[in-house]
Amino acid sequence: DSGVTQTPKHLITATGQRVTLRCSPRSGDLSVYWYQQSLDQGLQFLIQYYNGEERAKGNILERFSAQQFPDLHSELNLSSLELGDSALYFCASSVGAGTEAFFGQGTRLTVV
């Protein structure tokens, strides 16, 4: 157990819908990263937060948004879902920059 909790573990939804993925970082970790992993693909960086502030953005679609709350948990919102959004979404947390990032178990999103 990495200490990073992601909910839900599995999500099946229809095209055009909106979903919210939740991540609770390890106690004391201020940085939260979101990654997308499609079948046989690498870890595509989506967005990073540090202590409530957005710090870096990757190739995140405009249909996707995220935030980090005062209690440091983070949510990734995916809207107008398309079949191609089906993937494993990982959240990772770390104490800060340049330190080990711990991954949650991921949320497997299936869009039908």
Partner 1 sequence: GENVEQHPSTLSVQEGDSAVIKCTYSDSASNYFPWYKQELGKRPQLIIDIRSNVGEKKDQRIAVTLNKTAKHFSLHITETQPEDSAVYFCAAHEGNSGNTPLVFGKGTRLSVIA
Options 50, 64, 76, 109; binder of partner 1; rule CB under 8 A: 50
Options 29, 85, 87, 104; binder of partner 1; rule CB under 8 A: 104
Compute how many other C-beta atoms are within 10 angstroms of the C-beta atom of residue 82: 12
Question: Could you say whether residue 58 binds partner 1 (CB under 8 A)?
Answer: yes
Over the window 20 to 39, marking each residue x when it contacts partner 1 by CB under 8 A and - when it does not, the resulting string is -----------x-x-x----
Q: How far apart are CA 53 and CA 99, in angstroms?
A: 18
Q: How many helical (H) and strand (E) elements, i.e. helices and strands, does the chain have?
A: 0, 11
Question: Could you say whether residue 43 binds partner 1 (CB under 8 A)?
Answer: yes
